[in-house]
Structure 1
Amino acid sequence: MDAFDVLSAGAAAAPLLAGWSAHMLWMRQRLTRARMDALTGLPARELFTHFARRDLRGLERVAVLVVDLDGFKAVNDRHGHAAGDAVLVAVAGRLRRWAADLDGTAARLGGDEFAATAFTESAAYLPGHLRALEAALSEPVAFRETTLPVGASIGAYSHTRLPRIDLSTALRRADEAMYAAKREGGGWRIADGPIPEMTTTNGRRTGRPGTTPLPGGAR
């Protein structure tokens, strides 16, 4: 085959290659969208797992967070599911901005449960970041002609010592810290001490109780 034949074959194959590349790009975009939460636009559990595992392999200090809304059922019961959706969308946007400012990833695990990763300068800075997140998430949400209360319990786990722990363990520690915050009425807690013995499902504590009421008695 001479040079002319090679060039001719390459020219003939170019449209096929271009079409295949476009198809592969479309497939990748479709798969990514399938792993996004349709309501909030945040990564769902599968995609978050991919990003969070990548973050935990890094050399920087990484915090893993679990966030559970307080009083969310009352919003649905009193104002309807459209109002509940408005709260979820607002919380998702706030968590996304917070995580992005710390080079992390936010996700919706399902229902009113969220997760995030964040890179922190040192352990001393993490409480300040969590206070800022709590304040942001607790801002009321405007919905039609009313404002909806929002509360959140936040659990965080930050690990820097080698060897690195796996994501399931990090989520388990963050989940336990979140539940400690929920028992005390919300806010944030950082996991410390030994890992408690308990069964888990996808890194979450199995069979944990429901949400904490908002101040004022909402359940």
Structure 2
Amino acid sequence: MSELMFAAAAGVPLAAGWSVHALRLTRRIESARRDPLTGLWTREAFERRAGRLLARHPHVVVVLVDLDGFKAVNDTHGHAAGDAALQATGASLNDMVAGSRRAVAGRLGGDEFAAAVALANPVALPWLLRGLHDEITAPFRHGGRDLTVGASIGAVLSSDLPEGGGRELSVLLRMADEAMYTAKRGGGGWQNAAFTPRSTTTAGRRTGRAGTHTTQRREAA
């Protein structure tokens, strides 16, 4: 009996060691899926989690955010100021999704961000977008001065589309991207894809992106 008790006791530190190792490994994996500058999910991790939200909830808004005037901040105040602008934007998105299992946000790359939020009531969508835009464009402190960036936000609500393949994340991201570009052409702000004219495409790319052109000009809604 004493030998069994000794063996069991000896196994406790070993089991505890494996538990700590597994916890550290889990944290390392999660850290690798986070953008190191903003703490948001990377593109792949965001898309995986956003897809789960779409599968589980009927009203999910997919949001794309692109900063306006970001290059000017970099050129005028230096790259550290640009990083501060990205961190401030990341903080705004983190605030929006903090503590909620019905929301996720990510940095897609550069100064482009995305979020997916399951809404209990779609009527809350304008309030959500207006609040996000106001928070992102609020002044942030860097180098002893207040700096600002603008933001163009495009959004699409999954329940505004027919059920089926049209509600896939790739489709919703494309529509949010079109709405965001409409907002950018109008000088910034936010735009719901439900009220955005569909953009033309050239060789599979949205017209208006670098490398495309068209003879037609669409006005912002």
TM norm structure 2: 0.80
Distance 2:198 2:155 in 1: 13
Instruction: Give the match's secondary structure for 1:17.
Output: helix
| Distance in structure 2 (CA, Å) of the matches to 1:173 and 1:100 | 25
Counterpart position of 2:174: 172
The equivalent of 1:162 in structure 2 is: 163
Deviation, structure 1 residue 189: 0.8
Counterpart-to-counterpart distance in 2, 1:77 and 1:125: 37
Question: Contact between 2:129 and 2:190, CA under 8 Å: does it hold in 1?
Answer: yes
Deviation digits for residues 151-209 of structure 1 (CA, Å, limit 9, x no counterpart): 00001111125337222122111111111111111111111379767436xxxx59824
Describe the superposition over 1:110-141 as per-residue Cα deviations: whole angstroms up to 9, x where unpaired. Answer: 11111111122333221121111111111122
Contact 2:84 2:142 (8 Å CA) reproduced: yes
Relative to structure 1, is the Cα distance of residues 38 and 207 closer, same or farther in structure 2, using a 3 angstrom cutoff?
farther
Contact (CA 8 Å) 2:200, 2:207: kept in 1 or not? no
- Name which of 20, 38, 58 aligns with 1:40: 38
RMSD value, Cα: 2.8
Q: Does 1:208 align with 2:206?
A: no
Aligned partner of 1:51 in structure 2 is 49
Going from structure 1 to structure 2, the CA distance change for 1:19 and 1:101 (only over 3 Å counts) comes to closer
Give the aligned residue type for 2:168. Answer: D
Aligned equivalent of 2:93: 95
Corresponding position of 1:188: 190
Give the letter aligned to residue 124 of structure 1. Answer: V
Aligned partner of 2:59 among 58, 61, 65: 61
The one-letter code matched in structure 2 to 1:168 is S
Q: CA, structure 1 residues 176+14, in 2 after alignment: closer, same or farther (shift >3 Å)?
A: same
Unaligned runs of 5+ in 2: 212-221
Residue 178 of structure 2 contacts residue 198 of structure 2 at CA under 8 Å; is this kept in 1?
Answer: no
Equivalent position of 1:215 in the other structure: none
Q: 1:80 to 1:68 in 2, by over 3 A?
A: same
> What is the CA-CA distance between 1:74 and the residue it aligns to?
0.3
Distance 1:206 1:92, change over 3 A: farther
Give the Cα–Cα distance (whole angstroms) in 1 for the partners of residues 5 and 209 of structure 2: 66
Deviation at 1:16, TM superposition (A): 3.5
Cα distance in 2 between the residues matched to 1:155 and 1:189: 5
Q: State the one-letter code of the partner of 1:162.
A: E
Q: Please tell me the residue identity of whatever aligns with 2:148.
A: P
Q: What is the identity percentage for the equivalent residue pairs of Structure 1 and Structure 2?
A: 48
Paired residue type of 1:187: G
User: In the alignment, what sits opposite 2:134?
Assistant: 135
| CA displacement at 1:100 relative to structure 2 | 3.2
Tell me, in whole angstroms, the C-alpha distance in 1 between the residues paired with 2:197 and 2:149.
32
CA shift digits 1:6-37 (9 cap, x unpaired): 76665554444333232222111101001111
Aligned residue for 1:67, secondary structure, equals: strand
Q: Which runs of 5+ in 1 are unaligned?
A: 211-219
In 2, Cα distance between equivalents of 1:101 and 1:127: 21
The correspondence of residues 9-88 of structure 1 with structure 2, limited to 5 A, is 11=9, 13-88=11-86
